[in-house]
Each structure stands twice: as C-alpha cells, then as structure tokens.
C-alpha cells in the first residue's frame, strides 16, 4: 500500500471566506501516484472547516448569512470563550461546517458526484493555517 501526505497553507486576509481547494487536492492526488484508495482532507485548526458542496457564489453567501444567524460574531461579549479572544463564533461555525472530508479515489481521480467540490471554510482568518491531505491506496 502507498501512503502520501501534504500540508497545504492558507492565509485568508479576511475574517471569513470559502475557498475552492479542489485544484490543490487534485494536485496532491497526482503527486501521490495513487490510483485506487481513499483521500482524507482535514482542517488542522479548530476555527476552520473542510467540506464538500457546490461551487456557487449564491450558496456561499447563504452559508455566510445562515452561520451568522446560528453563531453571530457580535456582540463578542455574549460568549464565555471570549475572555482573551473574540473567536467563539468561529469555533461554532467550524463545528457546524465540519472538520474533514473523505473522498474515494478511483482510476486516479477524485470520485465525486457531479457538482461536488472541496472547500476550505475560514471563520477566523488573517493568519496562516494548514489543511492536511492524506492519501492511502495503490
Ligand atoms: Zn478560540
């Protein structure tokens, strides 16, 4: 069995953003040379997510509005976590949007449904953060 891993770095200039990282993940798969197996992709930070959905700007706006209703950033004083930080909402947004995705690798490609793409969800940006890609198979 072959094994491959790589850490991808992101530095989002805003507090929140959604980034399509499918091209970087596909590049990892190509580098791995693995044709049949499983690919894990996870955020390595507790205020960021990796998830799969549609690459559609209206949907990303809807996520932003929905997440802000669920866990508003302001007022920061409403959260007990915010004693020396202001990112309690980011922890909660990450919890809802998830930590990782697992994708089947078939014939050297990500075995997606038609509209599936992999996204990095940032909820407390303006600093460098990592995403792990781990691939196992043959
Ligand atoms: Zn925190």
Per-residue confidence (pLDDT) for residue 55, from 0 to 100:
97
Q: CA-based angle 53:56:26, to the nearest 5?
A: 55
- Tens digits of per-residue pLDDT, 26-70? 999 999 999 999 999 999 999 999 999 999 999 999 999 999 999
CA distance 137 to 21: 21
Spacing, Cα 89 to ligand 1 middle (Å): 9
Where do the domains of the chain lie? Answer: 2-137
pLDDT value at residue 6:
98
The C-alpha angle 129, 132, 135, rounded to 5 degrees, equals 165
How many A from CA of 109 to the centre of ligand 1?
A: 36
Centre of ligand 1 to C-alpha 2, Å, is: 36
d(CA 61, CA 67): 10
Q: What is the pLDDT of residue 108?
A: 98
Q: Was domain 2-137 assigned CATH 2.60.120.460?
A: yes
What's the pLDDT at 12?
97
How does residue 113 score in pLDDT terms, banded at 50, 70 and 90? very high
Q: How many angstroms separate the alpha carbon of residue 57 from the centre of ligand 1?
A: 28
């Amino acid at each position: 069995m072959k094994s491959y891993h790589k850490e991808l770095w992101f530095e989002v200039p805003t507090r929140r953003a959604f980034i399509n990282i499918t091209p970087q993940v596909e590049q990892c798969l190509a580098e791995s040379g693995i044709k049949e197996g499983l690919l894990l992709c996870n955020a390595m930070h507790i205020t960021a997510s990796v998830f799969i959905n549609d690459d559609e700007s209206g949907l990303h706006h809807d996520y932003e509005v929905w997440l802000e209703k669920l866990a508003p950033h302001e007022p920061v004083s409403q959260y007990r976590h915010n004693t020396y930080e202001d990112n309690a909402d980011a922890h909660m947004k990450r919890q809802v949007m998830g930590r990782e995705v697992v994708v089947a690798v078939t014939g050297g490609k990500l075995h997606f449904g038609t509209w599936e793409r992999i996204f990095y969800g940032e909820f407390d940006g303006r600093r460098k953060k990592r995403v792990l890609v781990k691939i196992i198979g043959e």
